[in-house]
Amino acid sequence: MVIKSLKLIDFRNYENIDFTFNPGINFIYGKNGQGKTNLIESLYLTTHLKSFRTSKISDLCAFSKKISTVQTSLLKQNVHHDVRITLHENLKRVLHNQKSVNYTSEYIKNFLSLLFSPDQLVAFKEFPLERRNFIDRILFRVDEKYFQRIKEFNRIRKQKNVLLRNRNKKEISVWNQLIAFVIPEIVNSREWIVKKINGVLAEIFCALTGRNISLEFYYGSDLKGKTDNSPESILRYLAEKLDQEIGNGYCLFGPHKDNFWMTLDGKKDRQTFSQGEYRVAYLSLQLAMNQIISSELGFKPILLLDDIFSELDDIICEKTVSYIIQSDNQVFITSTTIPERFKEIENTICIHAGKLSTV
């Protein structure tokens, strides 16, 4: 998958740009505050139809402007796509090949980018919800039934929460039966993707760092150790915990409480990883996802790597650059300076005050 060109009108600090990109590496540098992350955000918006920095559409418009436009030309598996996103206050209109996109879930199945950004790294480290969302975003693409399973689970949980608040024991048992059949499928899918990740994660971490230590990714199902993963056992467990859930007024158990974490030689991430180790471990996780998507879906996602070199030593930067250069993905990398290896790359782009120029 390749973004061939990008046109921005009144998006963040970009008044009006129309730029063509390299199908391989695009190295983007500039001082802080010039628009590097804004550019990455516009590319992420094209593939996910949302920002990774804000939930407010109005925040994406340039100061004092009410309308902004993001227009891209994409190539995926030799098929050309034109995408135009118009942002007006809190409304968003998306045209794909001149046709309105009414369902985001259908659109994002076709296009995919993987993002590394400092803000997302912090959220992933601190919040179990973000770690679940990270896994779910990939499973939505590679497991055709997973989106419907999550959608069904959330629908049932929402209705069950209403009944729990109303202390309606009789009807809750019916919804417990429904949720008990959905949970094992979600758990099985999450276990499958974690196994896939661990098939390549340690090798990637070694390639980026030169350190022969084991990086592993773990999945902690909320129900593990409480019940087995059969609908019958889950239903019995939920029945036993009914009074406790009624007392709290919401669902206490299930995949919405699951967690994920990483270890280095058995040492858990948040307790023992340095800032640099966590950064390169998270980058390794993204690159593992890249391999899985390429294998399962038959195309390479776009890699958006915003400020990846901060807090990494020179050796890791050099090895990371070498690994990325060998990738067949289209890659967008931002930095405040140009590492020596990137001086060899033809498409080096300088950003200054919302303007792009090829070096």
Q: Is residue 325 domain-resident? A: yes
The pTM of the full predicted model, rounded to 2 decimals, is: 0.93
Instruction: Indicate if the pLDDT at residue 345 is higher than 70.
Output: no
Do both 294 and 355 map to the same domain? no
CB-CB contact of 117 with 40 (8 Å) = yes
DSSP letters spanning 316-337: HHHHHHHHHHT--S-EEEEESS
Average pLDDT of the residues in 224-253: 96
The span from the CA of 316 to the CA of 335, in Å, is 15
Instruction: Indicate if the pLDDT at residue 22 is higher than 80.
Output: yes
Tokens of 109: 């199945």
Do both 194 and 276 map to the same domain? yes
Domain that holds residue 148: 119-162+185-229+255-300
Q: Is residue 315 domain-resident? A: yes
Q: Is residue 42 domain-resident? A: yes
pLDDT of residue 273: 93
Average pLDDT of the residues in 197-223: 95
Do both 11 and 72 map to the same domain? yes
Tokens of 95: 């045209």
Do both 18 and 74 map to the same domain? yes
Q: Is residue 180 domain-resident? A: no
Do both 222 and 191 map to the same domain? yes
Tokens of 324: 């990325």
Between CA 93 and CA 99, with CA 96 as vertex, the angle to 5 degrees is 80
Do both 47 and 102 map to the same domain? yes
In the chain, the percentage of residues whose pLDDT exceeds 70 is: 98
Average confidence score pLDDT of the chain: 93
Do both 2 and 128 map to the same domain? no
Do both 267 and 146 map to the same domain? yes
Do both 289 and 353 map to the same domain? no
Could you tell me the CATH number of the domain that includes residue 77? 3.40.50.300
Tokens of 282: 């998270």
Q: Is residue 8 domain-resident? A: yes
Do both 106 and 123 map to the same domain? no
What is the number of structural domains in the chain?
Answer: 2
pLDDT of residue 198: 97
CB-CB contact of 105 with 147 (8 Å) = yes
Greatest Cα pair distance in the chain? 69
Confidence of residue 341 (pLDDT cuts 50, 70, 90): low
Confidence of residue 311 (pLDDT cuts 50, 70, 90): confident
> How many CB atoms within 10 Å of residue 268?
12
Tokens of 317: 């930067």
pLDDT digit string, tens, across residues 82-122: 999 999 988 999 999 999 998 888 888 888 999 999 999 99
Q: Is residue 323 domain-resident? A: yes
Could you tell me the CATH number of the domain that includes residue 213? 1.20.1050.90
